[in-house]
A and B are shown apart, each in its own frame.
Chain A
Amino acid sequence: MPTSEDYEGQVPAWCPGCGNFQILSTIKQALVELDIEPWEVLVVSGIGQAGKLPHYIKCHTFNGLHGRTLPVATAAKLANNSLHVIAVAGDGDCYAEGGNHFLHAIRRNPNISLFVHNNQIYGLTKGQASPTTAKGTHTPAQPFGYLAHPFNPLSLAISQDCSFVARGFAGDQEHLKELMKAAITHRGFSLIDILQPCVTFNKVNTFKWYRERVYKLEDDHDPYNQIKAFEKALEWGDRIPNGIFYKSDKETLEEMMPTIHETPLVRKKFSLEDIKHEIEKFY
């Protein structure tokens, strides 16, 4: 049975008070409570403050390129479907640079969990707008205020029949932990968009701002009702719902890939003998 200490990585280099700290400790707790050992987990990330998370948790890690988290994570899962694969990303990483991969990961439905640290701002590059920044927000790079409409990851994911769609809040670790456990044990591609206040660059969407607005989806919310889930996903402003919005039980990419049913790809032995007759096909 693993403990939280088994998952203890390096000392984080995040700003004091950053919402990422809660996300990090919640992931560790979720894994410990699920009785998953560090050597059974691969955390894949891209670039950004969220992208550094794998260094602060002790498990297998691939810290790759900006926005490219999901292709690496998807392929890793195909290569070894016995690993628990968790992708962590920021809102810029996943929804801007990696927007295309986000769409296609939903379509492929690999059994991996995606945790997006959504702070509605670019932290590492010091305060530019992200796809989830509110329209009109003034930043050093948006002199006329941000001119684009914010990206809604939940409604997009639900509209594409994403297998598991949830939203959590870094300021409510108990609730977030249950969401993470549900996501990790869910069969299929699971998204948790995590509201994570950036204490340095986002002076609007603060912990206080969220605490006044977030509420948990009602007990009678049916996550298998796509239309209701979509309606809930559009709710944003004075009241912001959290919880599991949508679920869909469908085959995962690995389940549909017949060549990895019996043995994970990585454990398949190779022998030249096996391909000797291949050349005969060309005579």
Chain B
Amino acid sequence: MDYTLRVGGEAGQGLQTIGGALAKIFSRKGYYVFTHQDYMSRIRGGHNFYQVRFSDRKVMASREIVDILLALDLNTVEIHKNSVKEEGFILYDSESMKKKFEGPQFIDIPFRKIALDVGKNSVMANTVATGAVLGLLDLGLDVLNNILRMTFKGKGEEIIEKNIACAEAGYNYARSNCPRCEAFGAPEPEARKLLLIDGVQAIGMGALASGCKFYSAYPMSPSTGILNYLASRAEEYGLVIEQAEDEISAINMAIGASFTGVRSMTGTSGGGFSLMVEGLSLAGITETPLVLAEMQRPGPATGLPTRTEQGDLLFVLHAGHGEFPRVIFEPGTPEQAFYLTNKAFELAEKYQIPVFIQSDQYLGESEWTFENFDLGRLIYNDYRIREKDLEGTTEEYKRYRYTDTGVSPLAIPGEAGKHLVVADSDEHDEEGHIIEDSETRIKMVQKRLLKKLPLIKKEIEAPLLYGDPSPEVVLVGHGSTYGVIREIVDIYSKDRKIAMMHFSQIYPFSERDRFDYTELLKNADLVISVENNATGQFAKLMRTETGFEITHQILKYDGRPFTIENLKEELNAYL
């Protein structure tokens, strides 16, 4: 069983509310869920959809073909009716749309009229529609009713009861007006407890679970979800969340807070990151630990603000004037996003460097289900020098003291006794004061960059190989294409020796002593890089870092993520 539900309509019609509620209901029922959002950069109007795939086995990508289309406007019917399976359903309200459709797929449900009759308010049409979807699937109303109680807790008992009545009316209407539904109903999955989380929430929770206490950002899609998540937890966990006046301020604030001894993070998207680049170099030379989330959307400039692309990889890799170490992670799932954010904080603090969590709109706003996150895997080491650590030291504290590892003791201003902390964006000496002589410059570059790099490289894990252990066909992916490539490998593995090689710890590349992944690629007949950009940026990076050239590429740059069908079609051209 593997169903796809698409809720379509105009911005402002409540697609997220309906889609989000249904995703939650399916996951609480025990189905594995994958959602993805496709919406325009406008507050009202236009055409948007929210897609929920749910199944009794793990799902991690979207399909083109739809089982149930919930159309909230006429446009949705026109655009999506051909995507609906022959045996699928289109739920719509002919009275509101002022158009009647014939055919076995169409189920005409008077959402608005029921809302007015039962709830005395047309606003409740969405509740009727949500109930109708559940009726069609015969899934019961218990979870929805709980959600309605929670959602309208502040609005009083009467509103709650009316919504519940509307949900029930929609449910019953669908059940009694859907002759084919008996055969269609979703079988009850086995009882399992699943958590439902999207990429930005997972990054935010990863930050929280890493002791991040300061987050500064300027709102920008699709990074805003991290800001919203952390802001919603500020009171409970005692965080400081500051909405900066611009991204320049945001990154400088995060650096200021980190210098002062607090684990700090900032987040943005491509255009905002362009503004942050100066600050990134500041973190580099002052050796201030910093975690940055760069949530990609298609560019250049403003690009497609609400769409998705993996177009900033080489930009983030090369951003910043001068040479300094950095680490880039690109999670493939919300679960990876959670652990990699934690690892980002660990490495940022340990090596006093900027570390990136790079992702995109697709992963950022897609919800996935997981059995659990293993909190036992989280790392928390405090690398800051506090007062007790400096007690009895006779030697004067030097912020940039030369050490074998290049990592200098990181004291906290005002919290390390009388020791003074001097940080400088100018080239500086061990004490942090401005220098211009060549000897000190060389020593500082060696300390800051060359000594740390090999140590950092040792921390990077090898790519994940999924599928056949000695494959003939390898699909190489990074970041958010993880789910779709993995599902494709599952589909083809019956007939072929096929595998996915997925990179989530993008830069620096891992050492090949534990797993010689280029050797594996050399031994394959066909290696294809699958990327959500126009120039194959990851393949270029791979060639630079390993010398291995991937000659075949499947690239998608229409602002939309790969779906199972379109990756299959592209792959078939090679097979």
Measured CB to CB, the residues of A under 8 A from B are 10, 37-40, 42, 44, 47, 52, 54-55, 58-65, 68, 71-76, 78-80, 82-83, 100-101, 103-104, 257-260, 265-268, 270, 272, 274-276, 278-279, 282-283
**Residue of A39, A64, A75 touching B216 (CB-CB under 8 A):** A75
Are the C-beta atoms of A39 and B414 separated by less than 8 Å?
Answer: yes
Please name the residue on chain B nearest to A260 by beta carbon.
Answer: B240
0 or 1 for each of B409-427: is its CB under 8 Å from A? (1 = yes): 0001111011111111110
**Residue of B235, B240, B256, B413 touching A73 (CB-CB under 8 A):** B256
Residue B213 is within 8 A (CB to CB) of chain A in the complex: yes
Are the C-beta atoms of A78 and B423 separated by less than 8 Å?
Answer: no
CB-defined contacts of B414 to chain A, threshold 8 Å: 39-40, 42, 60, 80, 82-83, 266
Minimal beta-carbon separation of A84 from chain B (angstroms): 9
- Complex Cα distance A68/B255, Å? 11
Are the C-beta atoms of A62 and B256 separated by less than 8 Å?
Answer: yes
Minimal beta-carbon separation of A167 from chain B (angstroms): 25
Are the C-beta atoms of B278 and A266 separated by less than 8 Å?
Answer: no
CB-defined contacts of A64 to chain B, threshold 8 Å: 252, 255-256, 282, 286, 425
Residue B108 is within 8 A (CB to CB) of chain A in the complex: no
- Complex Cα distance A38/B416, Å? 12
Known: A100-B246, A270-B380. Is A72-B252 also a contact (CB below 8 A)? yes
Q: Which of B372-419 contact A (CB under 8 A)?
A: 372-373, 375, 378, 380, 412-415, 417-419
- Complex Cα distance A74/B278, Å? 18
**Residue of B211, B235, B375, B417 touching A39 (CB-CB under 8 A):** B417
Task: Write 7 A-B pairs (CB below 8 A) sorted by A numbering.
Answer: A61-B423, A64-B286, A65-B425, A80-B413, A100-B245, A265-B240, A266-B260
Are the C-beta atoms of A282 and B197 separated by less than 8 Å?
Answer: yes
Are the C-beta atoms of A83 and B413 separated by less than 8 Å?
Answer: yes
Minimal beta-carbon separation of B369 from chain A (angstroms): 10
CB-defined contacts of A266 to chain B, threshold 8 Å: 260-262, 412, 414-415
CB-defined contacts of A37 to chain B, threshold 8 Å: 418
Please name the residue on chain B nearest to A82 by beta carbon.
Answer: B414
CB-defined contacts of B261 to chain A, threshold 8 Å: 79-80, 266
Minimal beta-carbon separation of A47 from chain B (angstroms): 8
Beyond A40-B414, A64-B282, A100-B249, list 5 extra A-B contacts (CB 8 Å): A62-B256, A63-B426, A68-B252, A265-B238, A279-B195
Please name the residue on chain A nearest to B197 by beta carbon.
Answer: A282
CB-defined contacts of B422 to chain A, threshold 8 Å: 54-55, 60-61, 63
CB-defined contacts of B264 to chain A, threshold 8 Å: 75, 79
Measured CB to CB, the residues of B under 8 A from A are 28, 193-197, 201, 205, 208-209, 211, 213-214, 216, 233-235, 237-240, 242, 244-246, 248-250, 252-257, 259-264, 278-279, 282, 286, 372-373, 375, 378, 380, 412-415, 417-426, 432-434
Q: How many A-B residue pairs have CB under 8 A?
A: 183
Are the C-beta atoms of A101 and B259 separated by less than 8 Å?
Answer: no
Are the C-beta atoms of B237 and A283 separated by less than 8 Å?
Answer: no
Please name the residue on chain A nearest to B194 by beta carbon.
Answer: A283
Are the C-beta atoms of A104 and B245 separated by less than 8 Å?
Answer: yes
Please name the residue on chain B nearest to A55 by beta carbon.
Answer: B433
Please name the residue on chain B nearest to A279 by beta carbon.
Answer: B373
Are the C-beta atoms of B238 and A272 separated by less than 8 Å?
Answer: no
- Complex Cα distance A279/B235, Å? 17
* For the complex of A and B, 9 pairs with smallest distance between CB atoms: A75-B256, A72-B256, A79-B260, A270-B211, A71-B252, A75-B253, A60-B413, A104-B245, A71-B249
Minimal beta-carbon separation of B466 from chain A (angstroms): 25
- Complex Cα distance A103/B433, Å? 30
CB-defined contacts of B260 to chain A, threshold 8 Å: 42, 75-76, 79-80, 83, 266
CB-defined contacts of A275 to chain B, threshold 8 Å: 205, 208-209, 237
Are the C-beta atoms of A272 and B209 separated by less than 8 Å?
Answer: yes
CB-defined contacts of A73 to chain B, threshold 8 Å: 256
- Complex Cα distance A78/B253, Å? 10
CB-defined contacts of B216 to chain A, threshold 8 Å: 75
Of B209, B250, B378, B422, which is in contact with the most chain A CB atoms at under 10 Å from its CB?
Answer: B422
- Complex Cα distance A47/B281, Å? 15
CB-defined contacts of B254 to chain A, threshold 8 Å: 75
Please name the residue on chain A nearest to B216 by beta carbon.
Answer: A75
CB-defined contacts of A60 to chain B, threshold 8 Å: 413-414, 420-422
CB-defined contacts of A54 to chain B, threshold 8 Å: 422
- Complex Cα distance A61/B423, Å? 6
- Complex Cα distance A282/B245, Å? 31
Please name the residue on chain B nearest to A10 by beta carbon.
Answer: B433
Known: A75-B260, A78-B257. Is A68-B248 also a contact (CB below 8 A)? yes
Please name the residue on chain B nearest to A6 by beta carbon.
Answer: B418
Minimal beta-carbon separation of B473 from chain A (angstroms): 36
Known: A65-B252, A270-B211. Is A265-B380 also a contact (CB below 8 A)? no
Minimal beta-carbon separation of A255 from chain B (angstroms): 13
Known: A65-B278, A104-B249, A272-B209. Is A79-B193 also a contact (CB below 8 A)? no
- Complex Cα distance A224/B253, Å? 31
Please name the residue on chain A nearest to B234 by beta carbon.
Answer: A259
- Complex Cα distance A260/B237, Å? 11
- Complex Cα distance A267/B242, Å? 19
CB-defined contacts of B425 to chain A, threshold 8 Å: 47, 63-65
Are the C-beta atoms of A74 and B415 separated by less than 8 Å?
Answer: no
Are the C-beta atoms of A258 and B235 separated by less than 8 Å?
Answer: yes
- Complex Cα distance A47/B420, Å? 21
Please name the residue on chain A nearest to B249 by beta carbon.
Answer: A71
CB-defined contacts of B244 to chain A, threshold 8 Å: 71, 104
Known: A39-B414, A278-B208. Is A259-B282 also a contact (CB below 8 A)? no
- Complex Cα distance A60/B419, Å? 9
- Complex Cα distance A257/B213, Å? 13
**Residue of B214, B238, B245, B375 touching A279 (CB-CB under 8 A):** B375
Known: A72-B253, A73-B256. Is A62-B375 also a contact (CB below 8 A)? no
Minimal beta-carbon separation of B77 from chain A (angstroms): 34
CB-defined contacts of B214 to chain A, threshold 8 Å: 75, 78-79, 265
Minimal beta-carbon separation of B232 from chain A (angstroms): 10
CB-defined contacts of B234 to chain A, threshold 8 Å: 259
- Complex Cα distance A82/B244, Å? 22
Minimal beta-carbon separation of A99 from chain B (angstroms): 11
Are the C-beta atoms of B380 and A74 separated by less than 8 Å?
Answer: no
- Complex Cα distance A60/B216, Å? 23
Are the C-beta atoms of A80 and B242 separated by less than 8 Å?
Answer: no
CB-defined contacts of A272 to chain B, threshold 8 Å: 209, 375, 378, 380
CB-defined contacts of A104 to chain B, threshold 8 Å: 244-245, 249
Are the C-beta atoms of B423 and A62 separated by less than 8 Å?
Answer: yes
Are the C-beta atoms of A65 and B282 separated by less than 8 Å?
Answer: yes
- Complex Cα distance A279/B249, Å? 31
Known: A39-B414, A71-B244, A80-B414. Is A259-B423 also a contact (CB below 8 A)? no
**Residue of B208, B240, B380 touching A78 (CB-CB under 8 A):** B240
- Complex Cα distance A54/B209, Å? 36
- Complex Cα distance A144/B237, Å? 58
Minimal beta-carbon separation of A41 from chain B (angstroms): 9
Please name the residue on chain A nearest to B384 by beta carbon.
Answer: A266
CB-defined contacts of B418 to chain A, threshold 8 Å: 37-39
